[in-house]
Amino acid sequence: MAENIRRIRRVKYKSIRLDVHCHLRKQFRQLDINLEQALEDLAHLDSFEVVKIPALQVANKDFRFSVCRYGRIHTDLTNCHSLIRSSLTVNGDHLVSIDIKNSQPLFLSLLLINYRRSGNRILPIKRFQDSSSNPYAGLDELIRKTVHPIILNTNNPQSPAVLLSNTTVQTVQGVSQDIAADEFRTTGGCPKARAVNNALLSNDEQWFVELCEQGRLYEQLMETAEIPVRSWAKEAMFEILYGKNTLRTPAKSCFTEMFPKVAEVVRVHKRKDHRFLARLLQNVESDFVINTVCRRLMMERPEIPVFTIHDSIMTTPEHVEYVNRVFQDEFGDLGITPKLQFTNYSRSNNHDK
């Protein structure tokens, strides 16, 4: 059994060919863990014998790293209990995570915007091929249509978009201050050069995008549907987005009344297969976080420790502001201003932005 596991790991290791994946895999060699502290933090859990495994693998430098067919990276970090994170360090520095608030609904907003811009066309899923020399090449057309930058080259508006599979460094001059401004909004006070064409969005669609940007979608659903606990509202939202169209719940009825046009787009994407929307959003999420944000970090600042947990990135405290700036710049190019949440895993210091 052990030999079979090693063989499977060797195959997965050799299948990692995309440069940004190789770079992120290399980052894991820097990761250290205070194993005694981690095991102590996990000791009270009933599932201790299971949840301790990722900690042991990190301590033994026996890292798990694979890329699923939809582009997501799976590692010991994505598989470990959150209690372990306070025991992780890089060169003695603890880690800070940068999370996108309301991330799945926010990526749905991008799909919604571009669904309207493309004349209500449903985009096909492009599956990730492990054996490809450039696995993201097949996703270029999908992502270009799904999250196509709203702002074009001001010197040459007719210039073609750069393929995401070939993306290196994107120009960010003159972007940061606008993005950081409080009045920067996709559907409201956003500068005209970056504004989404609101004529394509109904009022409820604009409201949905704004709530996702502000990280308040779940709170709004709690208030309107009278759901007392935020985690319940989040679970209800996931049921709405990823459950079958035949699902009938009070929360779904409330969501449909609040956002009838958004609910229609969700329903259309799940008409043939209710799993389609989840897979499509994974394509968009992985391309943005990995092949856009992480690729830019790799090209501009390869020395920065970067670890991904699906829609979030972990780094050390001294690099948080730079990674935050890249996040904001890249989202700004798509006409979206998300609210990011910062969690400091020094065991004594948590803060949000």
Say if residues 301 and 293 touch (Cβ distance below 8 Å).
no
> For residues 99 and 39, what is the distance between their CA atoms, to the nearest angstrom?
25
Q: What is the pLDDT of residue 142?
A: 52
pLDDT digit string, tens, across residues 43-86: 998 999 998 998 998 898 888 888 888 788 888 888 888 899 99
Q: Phi, psi at residue 341, to the nearest 5°?
A: -115, 130
For residue 43, what are the contacts with CB-CB under 8 A and spacing of at least 6? none
Q: What are phi and psi of 344, to 5 degrees?
A: -95, 120
DSSP string, 261-305: HHHHHHHHHTSS-TTHHHHHHHHHHHIIIIIIIIHHHHHH-TTS-
Q: What is the mean pLDDT of the chain?
A: 78
Predicted local confidence at residue 8, as pLDDT: 81
User: Tell me: the pLDDT tens digits for 165-194?
Assistant: 333 333 233 333 333 333 333 333 344 433
| Longest alpha-carbon distance in the chain | 61
Cβ atoms of residues 214 and 184 within 8 Å: no
Q: What is the pLDDT of residues 120-156, one digit of tens each?
A: 877 666 555 544 445 555 555 555 555 544 444 444 4
- If DSSP codes are grouped into helix, strand and coil, which group holds residue 79? helix
User: Alpha-carbon dihedral of residues 293, 294, 295, 298, nearest 10 degrees?
Assistant: 130
What pTM was estimated for this model as a whole? 0.76
Percent of all residues in the chain with a pLDDT value above 90, rounded to a whole number: 40
Compute the C-alpha angle 276/277/279, nearest 5°: 65
238 CB contacts (<8 Å, ≥6 apart)? 104
Out of 199-208, 227-236, 294-303, 341-350, which region has the weakest mean confidence (pLDDT)? 341-350
pLDDT in tens, 262-305: 999 999 999 989 989 998 888 888 888 998 899 999 999 999 99
For range 1-24, the mean pLDDT: 82
Residues 6+ positions from 310 with CB-CB distance below 8 Å:
72, 73, 78, 285, 286, 289
Question: What residues contact 85, with CB distance under 8 A and at least 6 apart?
Answer: 77, 95, 97, 314, 345
Name the CA dihedral angle for 294, 132, 168, 344, rounded to a multiple of 10 degrees.
0
Look at residue 111 and tell me whether its pLDDT is greater than 60: yes
pLDDT score at 315? 94
Angle at 211 between CA 215 and CA 332, to 5 degrees: 75
Tokens of 306: 């970067």
